[in-house]
Structure 1
């Protein structure tokens, strides 16, 4: 008989919210909620850094190296440009957009722990970032479209690798690389046309 009362009392203490067990449970729920809020704030800060760093590098690159020396701005060259040849501001806008998308994609992979499990993804991301930043100075400042074409092809290869590695970790991150692949292939066509202008 005593064992039945003990079981019943145990149930009563768990069911009542005013007991010690009920108070501990509400503290645990509040602690978990505070922990989630703190994690969300850290995640937002890391997202801001992951996007702002490549974006600011791309903007600095456009500002310092995005002149028109190698792009063919003289009147004789502008007459021979095809209709699909983009204006300079459009090329710079695609560069900034691509940097934003790659930063967001890299953050999604980092948040899943993909760079720790697979450092190749990090190396490919850093490679494509460096190559995409190198294209403007090579083509616009040094007027070397042959080297720019090689840089475009290497960037395309690094982006294909990023897409494959990122898709394994997070499919959304892999899909965010696709517009950057389209930009790299379009830059290769622009570069080819610059060779023959």
Structure 2
């Protein structure tokens, strides 16, 4: 009789182990589904954060841009890349909760974005120089604010700052000539 009890208990333990594994698998499946849904939301917000500034910059430079004194296509492409990079940097700050902790960073991002769009419309010369210098100042402050929240986002602002300084130098050259 003892041997039958042992077999029954061993079988009972095996069934309990199987039930536990199935419960763990169901629990892990639920966690995987939650992670997958969270990743999809993150991908959607990343797409929006990068595509919206790029599309607005493209629209502004194509339809509202100063066509009489149009700069080279390289500057337009660099402006699009700068807008996308700033959108990515802003998304990184937003993901880390930086805009809630430091709302000043959001205002600086929006200010530099509006100045970028204004640069597309103004063109070159003294007015373009003034706008580029203001954008460079906003980008520098953006760099400081983003770097406090996310050093990676702060490093993404550096090429945008270099581009804005380059455009300002080009405008100085055009204003003098």
The TM-score bracket by the shorter chain reads: 0.7 to 0.9
How many residues are treated as equivalent by the alignment? 167
The alignment partner of 2:140 has SS state of helix
* 1:121 corresponds to which of 102, 105, 109: 105
Measured in 1, the distance between the counterparts of 2:17 and 2:146 equals 47
Matched, 1:112 2:96: yes
CA distance in 1, matches of 2:66, 2:118: 14
SS in 2 for 1:18: helix
Aligned to 2:176: 196
> Hey, what's the Cα distance between the residues in 2 that align with 1:166 and 1:17?
50
Alpha-carbon distance in structure 1 between the residues aligned to 2:144 and 2:43: 26
Is residue 66–residue 123 contact of structure 2 (8 Å, CA) maintained in 1?
Answer: no
Q: Distance in 2 between matches of 1:63 and 1:150?
A: 22
Residue 43 of structure 1: aligned partner: 42
Provide the residue aligned with 2:60 in structure 1: 61
- Tell me how large the CA RMSD over aligned residues is: 2.1
What is the SS of the residue equivalent to 2:123? helix
Q: Secondary structure at the match of 1:70?
A: coil
**d(CA) in 1 for partners of 2:161, 2:41:** 30
TM-score by length of 1: 0.78
Q: Which has a greater percent of helix? A: 2
Q: Report how far residue 68 of structure 1 moved.
A: 4.2
Counterpart secondary structure, 1:69:
coil
TM-score by length of 2: 0.86
Gaps of 5+ in 2: 1-8
Q: How does 1:157-176 map to 2 (within 5 A)?
A: 157-176=137-156
1:34 pairs with 2:71:
no
| Unaligned ranges ≥5, structure 1 | 1-8, 72-86
